[in-house]
Every structure is written in structure tokens, then in C-alpha cells.
A and B are shown apart, each in its own frame.
Chain A
């Protein structure tokens, strides 16, 4: 009788443990999968992927409208230089 009670109690706690583990484990796995990139590494990446403000091409006063460039060219008596690409040259090329 006492032995049967012990087995029953043991089974009860196994079930409780299994249920709790089932509830906790997915959350723990999800949180582990979201913790791969640290704040320190993210900071390094921001530094590494910051454009060089001294880069020569960035010092050029690029306009983005051909008509505005025409107006300025007429005012200043200069030719227009058009950098025309598939994708914007100041953006994704």
C-alpha cells in the first residue's frame, strides 16, 4: 500500500515536471534563438558599417533632379554632369 502510494506520488511529480518542462522549454529555446547577437557586437557592426565622411565622392554636392541641375547650370554657366545608373547611384547599386 505504502509502496503504491510512493509510485503514485512519483508518477504525479513526473507528470508535473513534464508539463512544466513543456511550458518552459519552448520559451527558453525561443529566447536563446533571439540572443545570438550581443549589444557589444551590434555596436561594432554599426562602427564598421559607417560610411567614411572623408570619402571624396561624399564631398561632391550631388543633386538628384536633372531639371534642378539644369537651372543651376544655366545660372553658373557650367555643363551638367549626369551619373545615370540602374538603381540610384547615391543608394543601392
Chain B
């Protein structure tokens, strides 16, 4: 149904509800007709929206029940089919609000990052809990051109090692995690020798409520002066959760994170890293 009857679009609405350009305005026009569109755009508007091409809302839903959503989608399609064909000019972007259009570093690399909890959950019959327990997360690691140059010399840039530790060695399988802060790094040893990456890391929050102790192994290959392959795996004990990632296993549990150079074939390769937020984080060196 999504492939043939709709034009599907996936967005981080934390961007669109704030951005001051045509993209943001068109999204807010649709969202303002829903129950979360009261005008306070500092609040979340997350959910599923179905709208006509000229921006009239046909459906809002924020339910994870697939059967219910499928039924509502069919109803929205029927309502759309009974309307006159829409004739409108496409909305214009105007001047792009650059805060919300982060671009990957020019001449750098995009590396796919996946994390998974490998065990420790209590069995459940709840399908939503099961979904989170089995989840494989996705994020992207951005590598600058300067860092790529250093990698081609068989050296590991400290900035890259810290970025991996602070923003990517994290349990993001149940929602948006609160990222590590620099003082949470208790140990960070990473070396690149002969194309082999080895490492060991200990991250822990101030109170010790959340932490990750892991070992790393990977390989970097270089062709024609550019990084042609970047693979890294981390495995270790994780504990605790942050505000938006509740429901983790009790005590210490095994968490793995893997990194692999993106080939640009996946739509998600274009998504900015979760830690590269609209608030202007220090994700990349300034």
C-alpha cells in the first residue's frame, strides 16, 4: 500500500517543526491540523500523517498497532479517492534554514553504525516490548577529510576515536539516548597498526548509573590514497538507560556495535548522525 498508493516520507520532526524555510512551513501546515499542532512547536508532533498534496490533513495517528494503522490508511485512501484531483503549485523551499540541513563533511566518509542488545531481557509476550528487545539500531558516523587523510597514513585520529566513543558506543536500540559527555570517558585506548584497529573503552556516567565497558576490533583498508574499507566491531557489558531509552535489561547486559563504510545505496546513508543535532553540538571539530 505504501509503495503503490502513497508517497512515503520519513522525517525527524524535531527539525521540520522548527525550521524556518519552505520545508518546515509545509510540514507545520499539515501538523497544525492535527492534535499536536496547537502552535507550540517546541513540543513534539511525532506520529503518522496522511495529507493531500496541497497539505490538507486526512489522518493523524500515533498508534503502533499495524492492523489499526492499515485500516486507517485504507479509510484515508478512500476519502482521498472521492476528492477532486488536486491542482496546486509545489511549495518552494525559499532560503534554506541551514541549521536544519547538516551536510556530511566534504571529502569525508559516511560509516553506517548498528547496535544491538545481545541478551539479558526478560521474556515478554508484549509485541511492542519484543520489537524493542530485538531492535537493531541505525546511525551514521561522519569522518572528516582531514581524519580520512590521517587514516590513510595508518594512524588513528584522536578526534575520530573520541567521536566513536562519545556518540556511537551507546545503546540506542530503544529510543534516543542521552549522549556520553567527555568526562564520562574513563578509558579510551584505540590503535591502528598495519590496518588493524584494536581498542578498549570504559564509559561511565557520573553516578555510575549508565556505562559501557567494551573491546573493539576492526580493519581499515586504503586504495589510491582514500579509505576503501572501514570495519569496526565493539562488544562488551552495558548497564543502565537514559530518559528516552527505558526498558533495558537489569544489571549488566551484552551490547554490540558495528561500523561499516556506507556505499550510498541506502536512503538512511543521507541521515545526519543523531548526535549532530540542530542545537549545534560539537559532533565535528570546529
Contact = CB atoms under 8 A, between A and B. Distances in A.
Given A64-B271, A66-B26, A45 B235 contact: yes
**Interface residues of B, dominant DSSP:** mixed
Interface stretch (B88-96, B120-128, B152-160): B88-96
B7 A37 contact: no
A79 B200 contact: no
A91 B77 CA distance: 28
- In this complex, the member of A51, A62, A69, A85 whose beta carbon has the largest number of chain B beta carbons within 10 angstroms is A85
B137 to A, nearest CB: 6
Given A65-B23, A88-B12, A36 B274 contact: no
A84 B189 CA distance: 38
Contacts of A83: 8-11, 48
Interface stretch (A3-11, A13-21, A27-35): A27-35
Nearest to A30: B189
A80 B5 CA distance: 9
A54 interface: no
Q: List 10 A-B pairs, minimum CB-CB distance, nearest first.
A: A36-B215, A73-B53, A42-B233, A84-B13, A69-B9, A37-B215, A92-B274, A81-B6, A90-B268, A82-B49
Interface of A: 30, 33-39, 41-43, 45-46, 48-51, 59-74, 76-93
Interface of B: 2-3, 5-14, 16, 22-23, 26-27, 30-31, 44-55, 58, 73, 76-77, 80, 85-86, 88, 90-91, 93, 114-116, 118, 136-140, 172, 175-176, 189, 191, 198-200, 215-218, 231-235, 244, 256-258, 260, 267-268, 270-272, 274
